[in-house]
Amino acid sequence: MTYIPKPAVHHPSLQKNAIGLTRRDYEGSMSTLCAGCGHDSVTAAINQAFWELDIAPYKVAKLSGIGCSSKTPTYFLKEAHGFNSVHGRMPALATGANAANGDILYIGVSGDGDSLSIGLGQMCHAIRRNVNLLYVLENNGVYGLTKGQFSASADRGSTSKKGEANAMEPIDGCLLALSLGATFVARSFSGDKAQLVPILKAGLTHQGFAFIDVISPCVTFNDHEGSTKSYAYTREHNVEVVQADFVPPRSEITTDYDPGSARNVMLHDGSWLRLRKVAEDYDPLDRDRAYAFIREHQRRNEVVTGLLHIAPGAADMHAQAGTVSTPLVQLPYEQLCPGSAALETLQHRFR
């Protein structure tokens, strides 16, 4: 059986969020991924982020391409419309959907094959358009469904399960996103829920394209000694630069942080993103320095995680296109058709 529904049993003591929903209400069907797959941890973090933000699941649309990662939208938010599309083409679908209805919260889940190989162009252009979309790249450096080929994010010198070494330079999604003008760039690790959940929440609230590269080890094909996307490697080489705490607009900002090591960033809806600097001189508002910082640590074989760059207030696709605030799908036909009299008049120019 390839579809496994979860029994809808609610324990009365389950904690409810502000709209009266429990975490169970944010779940989907049972995962069919391998036991221990990093992607399932990301799914859990996504559930948690939506629940904590009190978002009504049916106001969300979840889209994906093809691959293990792209299966995961089935595993969360069963009350949200989902679209599992074709390989590498989720950004185009999300762009069109968003153009038609900007009132929905869009989450796209992709993988390193989907985003960095077959769909590289689409991802780049969705970033350039600043489509209001949380884009989660579940990055394991390997093609799982076709059983273990290198992906474009595999590091040079890393080995496959069969022992072959990768000779090519990797594509780093975060560096790429930065160079394309992405307005929100973060990296995290599937096994670090404490870091991932606040980043996802910040990304969901960001008005524009929020790119999150989540290193998510493949337990079956890429969690061995020669892999640089394994649990052990990532834990060992992880350098956290910025820890993000997300504060919804209705809450008071708590003050238990040291002003010298924190920075508040206001998001479009008036909520605050509180960035706690772990690295002393790191400034996530400075795109160029973010780029240099990632490169510098790469040379030391360190994976920089955290919120790497944010440009709050940048115009998203709708702002750039100057569309009306009412979603296009909700415009009454009377506002769209100029009518017979206008048709008669406009045809004078064709005579």
Partner 1 sequence: MDRTNDFAFKIATPNGTGSASANGLIMQAIFRMGVPVTGKNVFPSNIQGLPTWYEIRVSKDGYTARTPHFDLMVALNPATYARDVAEVRSGGWLLFDATWPLDAALKRPDVTYLGVPLAGLCNARFAGVRERILMKNIAYAGALAALIGMDTEIVRALIREKYAAKPALLDSNDAALALGFDYATEHFDCPLPIRLAPMDETREAILIDGNTSAALGCVYAGATVGAWYPITPSTSMMEAFNGFCKKYRRDPETRQNRYAILQAEDELAAIGMVIGAGWSGARAFTPTSGPGISLMNEFLGLAYYAEVPAVIFDVQRTGPSTGMPTRTQQGDLMMCAYASHGDTRHVCLYPSDPREAFEFAVAAFDLAERFQTPVFVLTDLDIGMNDWMVPKLTWDDTYRPDRGKVLGVEELESLKAFYRYVDADGDGIAARTLPGVHPNGAYFARGSGHNRFGRYTEDDEEYTDVVDRIARKIQNAAAAVPAPVIRHRPGATMGVVTIGGCHAACVEALDLLEREGIALDFMRVRGFPFGDDVRQFLEAHEVNFVVEQNRDGQLRNLLTLETAVPLDRLHSVRYYGGFPMSAHHVVTGVRAKIDKAA
Contact residues: partner 1, CB under 8 A: 2-3, 56-59, 61, 63, 73-74, 78-86, 89, 91-101, 103-104, 121-122, 124-125, 129, 318, 321-325, 328-329, 331, 333, 335-340, 342-344, 346-347, 350-351
> Would you give the DSSP letter of residue 290?
H
> Would you give the DSSP letter of residue 170?
P
Contact partners, residue 77, CB within 8 Å, separation at least 6: 26, 27, 28, 46, 47, 50, 57, 60, 62
Min CB(213)–partner 1 separation in Å = 21
In the complex with partner 1, the residue whose CB is nearer, 191 or 208, is 208
Min CB(39)–partner 1 separation in Å = 16
Min CB(344)–partner 1 separation in Å = 8
Looking at the DSSP assignment, which residues form a beta bridge with residue 266? 272
Looking at the DSSP assignment, which residues form a beta bridge with residue 137? 110, 213
Min CB(125)–partner 1 separation in Å = 4
Min CB(348)–partner 1 separation in Å = 9
In the complex with partner 1, the residue whose CB is nearer, 28 or 217, is 28
In the three-class reduction of DSSP (H, G, I as helix; E, B as strand; rest coil), residue 62 is classed as strand
In the complex with partner 1, the residue whose CB is nearer, 98 or 220, is 98
Min CB(251)–partner 1 separation in Å = 26
Positive/negative CA dihedral, 225, 227, 231, 234: positive
- The whole-angstrom distance between residue 326's C-alpha and the CA centroid of its chain comes to 25
List the structure tokens of 248: 């919804």
In the complex with partner 1, the residue whose CB is nearer, 255 or 340, is 340
Dihedral Cα 262, 266, 269, 272, nearest 10 deg: 10
Distance CA 251, CA 27 (A): 26
In the three-class reduction of DSSP (H, G, I as helix; E, B as strand; rest coil), residue 27 is classed as strand
In the complex with partner 1, the residue whose CB is nearer, 105 or 307, is 105
In the complex with partner 1, the residue whose CB is nearer, 207 or 228, is 207
In the complex with partner 1, the residue whose CB is nearer, 127 or 212, is 127
Min CB(127)–partner 1 separation in Å = 11
What SS3 string covers 186-199?
A: EEEECCCHHHHHHH
Cβ atoms of 70 and 109 within 8 Å: the answer is: yes
